[in-house]
Chains A and B, each alone.
Chain A
C-alpha cells in the first residue's frame, strides 16, 4: 500500500478573531489590533488550531508537519506533542498579513500537499494572494468574518477533512475567497467582494458525485460541464445573457468557447461576448430595451446568490430582467459546503426585490437535473 509521507503546511494567524469578542468587526489594520488588545481581547485562533490538530495528532498516520515559528504554528503544534519542521522567520512581535503571505509562499516552496490555515476572510485572502490554486488549502474558522467558502464548518471538522484529504479520501473543489469592505462593515453595512479562489477539500458522502474516483477538481469540473451543457442547450440567441461571477458560470462560457472574467459580470449573446466586467450602470445601459436572462451561482460559504460578490447585479438590474428569466446554477459539492437543502440567500439591498425573489426556485445541478431550493433573505 502506498505510504509516501504526506506533508501538511500549517499557518496560524494569531490575531484573527480577536476583534469579535470585544465587539470589533475584524482585526485588519494595526489600529484595530491595538484597540482590540486594549479592550483585553484574547487570541482565539491558537486554541482553534489545537482543536483541529488534535484530530491529526491522534491518528496513526505518518504526516510531516511544516509550520512557521512561535504563534504562527510552532507553539500550537508543540502543545500537542507534535514535532513540526519549522521554517521561515518572523521579524516583529505581532504578526501581520505580510507574514501570512510569506509563510504561504514558503509552504508552496516546501511542496506541502495541503496548507491548513487558521483565521478569517482576511487570512484567506492573504493565503490566496500567495498561493492561488497552486496547492490545496483549507481554513480553520477563527475569524469574525467568515464569508468565504474555504473554511470547514468548525475546527474539528477542519482537522478531519485535512486528514481525509491527506489519506486520499477527500476530493477537491474550487471555493470562493471573499472579503468585505472593512470600513463599510464597521458602519454596519455588509458588502462582500469576491476576491479569488482556492482549491479546497470537501466531504464526499455529503454530496452526490459524478464519476471517477480521481481526487481532483475533476469531480466538480465534470458536474460543471454537465451544468454548462444543460444551460447552453437551452440558450436562445434572441436574449442577452448576463453571466454572474464564479467557476460554475465560467464553465458555461468555456462550453461556448469564449472567455469570461472569473470574478466579474459579463454579458454574452448568440454565443459571443458582448461586454466584460460590467458595473451596474453599464449593465442597465446594455439592457435598455433588450430581452435578457440572468445566470447566477451562490458565492461564498453562506449561500448568497445575490448580495455578496455580485452587487453589480443591483435591484434595478434584477427588476429589468425579471424573476422568470433568472437561472441559478450550482454543483452539489458547492451546495453541500453551504448545507444541502438549506435555503439560498439574497440581500440585494432592497427588501421589495428580496421579497420578489423569495420562495422556491429551480437550481440546475447537472444535465437535465435540477433541485428545488428555497430562496430566502
Chain B
C-alpha cells in the first residue's frame, strides 16, 4: 500500500437527519395483528378498567414506513467503523479481534434465541449443556475451579468478585476489620471503582518510574489486618506483565486476604499461563475481548467470573450443573451473594465463545497468544522508528505482551501536536483512532495499540506508514492535523455542550426545549 493511496479514503457522509425530522404523520413501519372478534368482544371493556388519569394522552415519536426505517439505519451503520470495516490495531485494551460469522449464525438460530430463561429444564438441555461445557473450558484455560456467567461486563465482574471477597470475610467473621482493597493505578479503573461501590476503602499503588510496575515494598507497606484483598489487572494495559505477581499473592495471603485478577488482557497468556496456578483466588474473562464475541457498538459483552473451589459457595445463583444425566440450574446455594443481574448472563455470547474455542482448539489458543505478542512487538519496532514516538520504561524492557502504551510526548514538545490531535487525523485514513489511556495519564500523550492475533502484517505496515505520515505532517504542516478530521462524516465537534447544562441535550425533546 503506497502512501499516496492513503488519501483515497473518504468516509460515507450522508448528513442524515435525526430521525425526528423524517417521516410523515400517519406512516407506520409495522402492522400490529388485529385481535380476533371473540377476544375483542370479551376484552373490549378491558381498557375501561384503567382509570382515566392512567390512560396516555399522546406519544411524540417519529412516524416512518418500513423502507424509511431501513434506509435511515443502514446509512447510520455505514457511518460507523467496526472491526470488519478497517484497521483497528490502535484500539488497545479492547482486543478488537475478528468476530467469526459462523458464530453469528449459531447465536442467532431459533434454537438459541426463542427460549425463555424460566422454561422447564427438560426443554433447555441444549443451552445448559453449552453453558456447562464452556464453564469447564474456561476453568481449564484459567486454572480455576468454578464459574458464573452472570456478570455482563468487566466492571460488573470486578464488582461481583469484590462482593465475593466481602462474603468470604463475613463468613469467617472478619468482615468488620477487612475493609480495604489494594489496587494499582495502571489497572482498569473499575478495579478501584467497583470495590468502592461494594463498600471497600481503596488503596492505590503507583508504578515504579523505571519498571512500570509497583514495587513489592509498596505493597508490603500497604497490607495490614484491614486488607480484604488485592484486585489488579495483569498484564497491565501498558502491555507490561507484572512479574511480582507471585510475591503479591504470597504477601496478600500471608495477611489473610484474597487476590483477584482482571483478565481483560488474557489474550497474551492463553495456553501459556493459567492464572489459577499462581495462587490467585478469583479472576474474570471478557468474552467480548479475548474470546471473539463482537463488541456490539459497546455491548452486549460478557464477563464470566471464575473462582477457586473454596469460594464456589459464594457465586451468584443459579449456577449451571450436571448430575451425570441432566443439566440443571442450581439455586440451592445458601452462601451465595445473591444475584448481580437478572437471569443468567449474556447467553448468546456463551454460544459464540464456545464456537470460537472449538474453532481454534487447545493448541490454537497458543497460536493466538503467540501471534498476538509477535504482531504487537513487530508494530512497536516499526513505530519506534517514527519521529516523536517513545516507549515508556523502554530502556529496561523493550518488549511488551499483546499491547503497548507508547507516548507522543516528544512530538508534543517539538510540535505542539499531541495524541488527541493525531487521533482526529488518523481517521482521515480509514483507520480507527487509537485508545489513549484510562485516567490519570501516568504516561503523557499516551496511545495504546493492540493488534491482536487477527490482523495481517500488511495492516501493521500500513498503520505504521500512516503514523509516519502523520508524524511528518506534525513536524512540517501541523495545521492539517489541528483542523482534522477532513475525510470523515463530520468536522470537528464543538465541545461546549459538554459542560453547559443550558446547552447539552441527551434527547430530542431536551434539544427542542433548549434551542428552538
Give the residues in chain A near B416, CB-CB below 8 Å: 55, 58, 156, 160
> What 9 pairs between A and B have smallest CB-CB spacing?
A341-B206, A360-B221, A213-B499, A368-B201, A371-B204, A372-B218, A205-B441, A370-B203, A360-B218
* Chain A residues numbered 193-247 whose CB sits less than 8 Å from any CB in chain B: 205-208, 213-215
On whether the beta carbons of B496 and A372 are closer than 8 Å, the reply is no
B-contact bits for A154-174, CB 8 A (1 contact / 0 none): 001000100000001000000
Tell me the interface secondary structure of chain B in the complex.
mixed
Give the residues in chain B near A55, CB-CB below 8 Å: 416
Contact residue among A208, A213, A372 (Cβ-Cβ distance under 8 Å from B222): A372
Q: Does B119 contact A (CB under 8 A)?
A: no
Q: Does A362 contact B (CB under 8 A)?
A: yes
Q: Does B173 contact A (CB under 8 A)?
A: no
Q: Does B498 contact A (CB under 8 A)?
A: yes
Q: Given A360-B222, A372-B218, A374-B217, 7 other A-B contacts at CB below 8 A?
A: A206-B440, A332-B440, A359-B217, A368-B200, A371-B206, A372-B219, A372-B221
On whether the beta carbons of A360 and B441 are closer than 8 Å, the reply is no
Give the residues in chain A near B202, CB-CB below 8 Å: 368-370
Q: Contact size class for A?
A: 20 to 34
Least Cβ–Cβ distance between B158 and chain A, in angstroms: 17
Contact residue among A168, A340, A342, A369 (Cβ-Cβ distance under 8 Å from B440): A340
Q: Which residue of B lies closest to A374 (CB)?
A: B218
On whether the beta carbons of B440 and A371 are closer than 8 Å, the reply is no
Whether A207 touches B440, Cβ cut-off 8 Å, given contacts A156-B413, A370-B203, is: yes
In Å, the complex CA distance between A336 and B442 comes to: 9
Total of A-B residue pairs, C-beta within 8 Å: 78
A-contacting residues of B (Cβ < 8 Å)?
A: 185, 196, 200-207, 209, 214, 217-222, 413, 416, 439-442, 444, 494, 496, 498-499
In Å, the complex CA distance between A214 and B185 comes to: 25
Least Cβ–Cβ distance between A155 and chain B, in angstroms: 11
On whether the beta carbons of A371 and B205 are closer than 8 Å, the reply is yes
On whether the beta carbons of B221 and A1 are closer than 8 Å, the reply is no
Whether A205 touches B222, Cβ cut-off 8 Å, given contacts A55-B416, A342-B209, is: no
Least Cβ–Cβ distance between B273 and chain A, in angstroms: 26
Give the residues in chain A near B207, CB-CB below 8 Å: 341
On whether the beta carbons of A1 and B496 are closer than 8 Å, the reply is yes
On whether the beta carbons of A373 and B444 are closer than 8 Å, the reply is no
B-contact bits for A351-370, CB 8 A (1 contact / 0 none): 00000000111100100111
In Å, the complex CA distance between A194 and B413 comes to: 32
Whether A340 touches B206, Cβ cut-off 8 Å, given contacts A207-B440, A213-B499, is: yes
Least Cβ–Cβ distance between A206 and chain B, in angstroms: 5
Q: Which residue of A lies closest to B179 (CB)?
A: A368
Least Cβ–Cβ distance between A242 and chain B, in angstroms: 23
In Å, the complex CA distance between A160 and B416 comes to: 8
On whether the beta carbons of B204 and A370 are closer than 8 Å, the reply is yes
In Å, the complex CA distance between A362 and B441 comes to: 21
Q: Which residue of B lies closest to A156 (CB)?
A: B413
On whether the beta carbons of A372 and B204 are closer than 8 Å, the reply is yes
On whether the beta carbons of A341 and B442 are closer than 8 Å, the reply is yes
Q: Could you say which of A160, A341, A365 has the most chain B C-beta atoms within 10 Å of its C-beta? A: A341
Q: Which residue of A lies closest to B482 (CB)?
A: A60
On whether the beta carbons of B201 and A213 are closer than 8 Å, the reply is no
Whether A214 touches B499, Cβ cut-off 8 Å, given contacts A206-B441, A360-B217, is: yes
Give the residues in chain A near B441, CB-CB below 8 Å: 205-206
Give the residues in chain A near B444, CB-CB below 8 Å: 206
In Å, the complex CA distance between A58 and B477 comes to: 12
B-contact bits for A20-62, CB 8 A (1 contact / 0 none): 0000000000000000000000000000000000010010000
Whether A208 touches B218, Cβ cut-off 8 Å, given contacts A342-B209, A370-B202, A370-B204, is: no
Q: Which residue of A lies closest to B498 (CB)?
A: A213
Give the residues in chain A near B220, CB-CB below 8 Å: 360
26 contacts between A and B (CB under 8 A): A1-B494, A2-B496, A156-B413, A160-B416, A168-B499, A205-B439, A205-B440, A206-B441, A207-B439, A213-B498, A214-B499, A340-B440, A340-B442, A341-B207, A341-B442, A360-B217, A368-B196, A368-B201, A368-B202, A369-B203, A370-B204, A371-B204, A371-B205, A372-B206, A372-B221, A372-B222
On whether the beta carbons of A208 and B221 are closer than 8 Å, the reply is no
Least Cβ–Cβ distance between B229 and chain A, in angstroms: 15
In Å, the complex CA distance between A206 and B494 comes to: 23
On whether the beta carbons of A369 and B209 are closer than 8 Å, the reply is no
Give the residues in chain B near A336, CB-CB below 8 Å: 440
In Å, the complex CA distance between A359 and B222 comes to: 11
In Å, the complex CA distance between A328 and B461 comes to: 49
Give the residues in chain A near B209, CB-CB below 8 Å: 341-342
In Å, the complex CA distance between A207 and B438 comes to: 11
Q: Which residue of A lies closest to B478 (CB)?
A: A58
Give the residues in chain B near A369, CB-CB below 8 Å: 196, 201-204
Give the residues in chain B near A156, CB-CB below 8 Å: 413, 416
Give the residues in chain A near B214, CB-CB below 8 Å: 372
Q: Could you say which of B204, B207, B413, B442 has the most chain A C-beta atoms within 10 Å of its C-beta? A: B204
On whether the beta carbons of B222 and A362 are closer than 8 Å, the reply is yes
Contact residue among A205, A342, A372 (Cβ-Cβ distance under 8 Å from B203): A372
Least Cβ–Cβ distance between B315 and chain A, in angstroms: 27
Give the residues in chain A near B442, CB-CB below 8 Å: 340-341
In Å, the complex CA distance between A325 and B203 comes to: 18
In Å, the complex CA distance between A336 and B185 comes to: 13
Give the residues in chain A near B203, CB-CB below 8 Å: 362, 369-372
Least Cβ–Cβ distance between B415 and chain A, in angstroms: 10
Least Cβ–Cβ distance between B208 and chain A, in angstroms: 8
Give the residues in chain A near B204, CB-CB below 8 Å: 365, 369-372
In Å, the complex CA distance between A325 and B158 comes to: 34
In Å, the complex CA distance between A365 and B185 comes to: 13
On whether the beta carbons of B413 and A208 are closer than 8 Å, the reply is no
In Å, the complex CA distance between A94 and B354 comes to: 79
In Å, the complex CA distance between A361 and B214 comes to: 14
Q: Could you say which of B203, B214, B220, B442 has the most chain A C-beta atoms within 10 Å of its C-beta? A: B203
Q: Which residue of B lies closest to A154 (CB)?
A: B413
Least Cβ–Cβ distance between A189 and chain B, in angstroms: 29
Least Cβ–Cβ distance between B216 and chain A, in angstroms: 10
In Å, the complex CA distance between A372 and B444 comes to: 21
Least Cβ–Cβ distance between B347 and chain A, in angstroms: 36
In Å, the complex CA distance between A341 and B204 comes to: 10
In Å, the complex CA distance between A160 and B417 comes to: 11
Give the residues in chain A near B217, CB-CB below 8 Å: 359-360, 374
Least Cβ–Cβ distance between B392 and chain A, in angstroms: 12
In Å, the complex CA distance between A365 and B441 comes to: 17
In Å, the complex CA distance between A213 and B500 comes to: 9
In Å, the complex CA distance between A368 and B198 comes to: 12
Give the residues in chain B near A362, CB-CB below 8 Å: 203, 221-222
In Å, the complex CA distance between A147 and B440 comes to: 24
In Å, the complex CA distance between A14 and B200 comes to: 53
In Å, the complex CA distance between A214 and B498 comes to: 11
In Å, the complex CA distance between A374 and B207 comes to: 11
